[in-house]
Structure 1
Amino acid sequence: MSSSRSGRSKSGSSSGKKSKGSHQSVRQLIESLQTHRVNTLTELCRIERVAASCETEEDARAFQSPMTAAWAYYVSSNQMLSELRGLTPKFPFCGDILSHAQVLVRNDPESNRSWNLAWLCLVKITEDELIETYAASEASRPEMWGGRQPSDEEAKELAACFQYEWDTAVQKMLRHWQATPTWC
């Protein structure tokens, strides 16, 4: 590694261009976070991986605040809910689950372990078994049954459908992180 660096240094231009180009790329990514041009799970995860692999500490620090704000915007702008609902076409994801998860995360002193509000919410949904709770509650609502009260068996059957589809969506989203987005 050091021999290739010294080879580039002799020419003088190769390492300087890479560093300048790399810094410009970092600025462009940060701008895309700040202007919310990027607001999908896949793209935010891609930028998060770039931020994690920054070559300089300066670039890594430059990403911290914009990345944190971008994840918060992704959740609060309902984009996360839209993507969850896109993964649950038969039984649309219950927005109350995500709202409840946000409250739990914001009230959890351990939530400062990550900059990533979306990941924290997904973990909270899983750890606190919010899907199971809301699936049972939603399946028992008369509105789900044309205004009539469902039998216990009907409610259990519908709750199982909700639970399966919603849990599958959450697990699919969690697979976007090869490593947990937490502070070291």
Structure 2
Amino acid sequence: MSSSRSTRPHHSSRLGSGSGKKSKASQSTRQLIESLQTHRVNTLTELCRIERIAASCDSEDDARAFQGPMTAAWAYYVSSNQMLSELRGLTPNYPFCGDILSHAQGLVRNDPESNRSWNLAWLCLVKITDDDLISSFAGSEASRPEMWGGRQPSAEEAQQLAACFQYEWEMAVQNMLRHWQATPTWY
């Protein structure tokens, strides 16, 4: 693993080692996993905090115990609309378009490369950025008559509003991506 941008859970290289040990996950790991499974933790900041703990596990049993619950917690974070709520919290002037996130989820789920990470939220944010979804959706949203009190906006008006959408939405996505010092990928 030579890339400084790529991270792999500290434990992942040991997962297939077949050590034969049958010890249980530690008490603190079980508590964190329970908080993931019961969705007591469902914010970007807290999920990232637990993800960092999971990635730095010294115990192979703890590392294995985190895999499924961490993956499921990220999927729940996205599907429960918590991610959209947090994106909208970062875009107070021009609320983030939910269709962007829905479209990104569809693209990620249909992308064979999506198995490179356990983190659906990160995959969606990267897809939004890499596929320039904000630019596409900002233009179409700004042209909708509903944005203009039912009237059709002029091209210039729509362009100005699209630029405002694009700026604020891109800043929100970049702000969220800053939570990962290294990408949460398997390889």
TM-score by length of 1: 0.88
Q: In the alignment, which of 52, 59, 65 is matched to residue 62 of structure 2?
A: 59
Moved beyond 6 Å, runs of 4+: none
Q: Which has the higher contact order (CA 8 A, sep 6+)?
A: 2
Q: Counterpart of 1:33 in structure 2: which amino acid?
A: L
Per-residue CA deviation, residues 32-85 of structure 1 (Å, 9 max, x unaligned), is: 000000000000000000000001111111100000000000000000000000
Which structure's CA Rg is the greater one? 1
TM-score by length of 2: 0.86
Q: State the Cα distance separating 1:23 from its structure 2 match.
A: 1.2
Unmatched 5+ residue regions in structure 1? Answer: 1-19
Q: Normalized per residue, which structure has more helix?
A: 1
Unmatched 5+ residue regions in structure 2? Answer: 1-22
Q: State the Cα distance separating 1:164 from its structure 2 match.
A: 0.2
Q: Counterpart of 2:87 in structure 1: which amino acid?
A: L
Q: In the alignment, which of 110, 114, 124 is matched to residue 127 of structure 2?
A: 124
1:77 paired with 2:89, answer no
Per-residue CA deviation, residues 86-141 of structure 1 (Å, 9 max, x unaligned), is: 00000000000000000000000000000000000000000000000000000000
What percentage of residue pairs aligned between the two structures are identical? Answer: 85
The residue that corresponds to 2:145 in the other structure is 142
- The 1-side partners of 2:126 and 2:56 are apart by 24
Secondary structure at the residue paired with 1:162?
helix
**Count of residues in Structure 1 that have an aligned counterpart in Structure 2:** 164
